[in-house]
Amino acid sequence: MIFGRYFRWLLVGFLGLPLGIARADMPSPEPYLLVRSMRMLQDQVASGKPEALPMLNRVLGHIAGQLEAAKPEVWQKPANAYAILIYLLNGGNPQVVRGILTTTKLENISPKLVAGSLAYADGDSLGIVENFSEQLPPDVPSELIASISLVTAAQLAAIDAPTALKRLDYIRLSAPGTLLEEAALRRGLMIAARLNDKEKVKLLARNYLQRFALSPYSEDFFRQLVDAVMTLKAKISNDEIEEMATLAWTGARLPFYLRIARGAVVGGDMQRARFMSEKAEALSQSLKTDDTQARLYLGISNVGTDKTDDAIKMLSQLPKDRLHERDLKLLEAATAMGERYWNSPLQLRCKQCQTLSSRLVRRHPQTARRESAPRQRPCPPIR
């Protein structure tokens, strides 16, 4: 009840009323209440509530000011001391937290937690792992444990993937429905793929699409899923990929097909490229949207087969002004090799087809182009 009043007070302030009015009959909330409001908003962001994201940015700025203004004795209360660590590990201002941790002695907090948090604020990967690897005291809040697990999983992924995946599993079990779980599902995809754990990739994808399909970070999820599928290669079947795709909303399914189709073309897996581009072409027509990319990858996948004639004709009719430069290079290479293939003696055609795949791989080593910042709409079409 008390927190509810404070949270409503925060919302009133951020919706534009003068904060001085709100403060007239109410003291400033303690740090643990401020951080709890932040975490509530973050969980609303993960669930896809559009108004939560802009409000979260305003709340983060307000909390930073409140924490800086807090009196030193406030941090001797364990709930507040733990809260500032949770704040830091969940997107809080590292300069603000560093200033507090370096000028205030936290009597009731493990020095390792403080050292690990300072290492995180400084971007010290080794210090993060060293200080957060020991068993945590029993009084540490579960939310802080989950936050530490998420941070250390990212650091451990390259050196101890099984442990990293176990830490992400802990988050999924201990913090369901939160932004922490949403991030754990996304980050677990590539770790599981590198471990050749196809079933775990499918589980993580299914859980994400059923629980966080509207998250503003879902675009990053689809990029991670495409990379996981390309890493697994033949270990995951086209039917299994299609089963995951059917869980996604239609607007996200099309670019998912296109990204895998392109990755398969670049990787020389023409059978997968054909399957995915056929799915993309059919969906494009159903949505009455541009199918140029789908037909490009479909045409390329059919060069070197008994459909080479149709493939060359399809590629020649594509509107080049609708293709990205990197796809224009694919088109040029495929067209040239297709014509050479068709004009070659029968016994040389298999070798020509292999040459096409190897040239595409050399020219386009990346299966997908990463973008630095997630957008509101999941996985926009490849351009």
Contact partners, residue 13, CB within 8 Å, separation at least 6: 19, 22, 62
Q: What confidence tens digit (pLDDT) does each residue in 9-46 have?
A: 455 444 444 444 444 455 678 999 999 999 999 999 99
CA-closest candidate to residue 216, choices 38, 380, 64, 90: 380
Tokens of 273: 């490229």
Model pLDDT, residue 138? 87
Element of type H or E holding 334? helix 325-343
Cα gap 327→224, rounded to integer Å: 21
Q: What is the pLDDT of residues 212-235, one digit of tens each?
A: 999 999 999 999 999 999 999 999
Length, in residues, of the chain? 383
Please tell me the distance from the alpha carbon of residue 80 to that of residue 30, in angstroms, as a whole number: 7
Cβ burial of 220 (10 Å; 0-12, 13-18, 19+) is buried
CA-based nearest residue to 29, from 70, 88, 57, 58 = 70
Instruction: Report how far residue 63's alpha carbon sits from residue 7's, in angstroms, rounded to the nearest whole number.
Output: 12
pTM: 0.84
How much is the pLDDT for 305? 87
How far apart, in Å, are the Cα atoms of 119 and each of 123, 130, 137, 150, 363?
6, 10, 19, 15, 40
Task: Using CB atoms within 10 Å of the CB of residue 86, give its burial: 0 to 12 exposed, 13 to 18 middle, 19+ buried.
Answer: buried
Side chain identity at 72, as an amino acid letter? P
**Regions of the chain short of the pLDDT cut 70:** 1-27, 342, 344-383
What is residue 222's predicted lDDT score, i.e. its pLDDT? 97
Q: Phi and psi (nearest 5°) for 66?
A: -65, -40
CA distances from 106 to 131, 137, 190, 193, 315 (A): 16, 15, 38, 41, 67
The C-alpha R_g of the chain, in whole angstroms, comes to 26
Q: Is 207 helix (H, G, I), strand (E, B) or coil?
A: helix
**Residue/partner pairs of 89-92 with CB below 8 Å, 24 or more apart:** 89/117, 89/120, 89/144, 89/147, 89/148, 89/150, 89/151, 90/38, 90/39, 90/42, 90/147, 90/179, 90/180, 91/42, 91/60, 92/38, 92/60, 92/63, 92/64
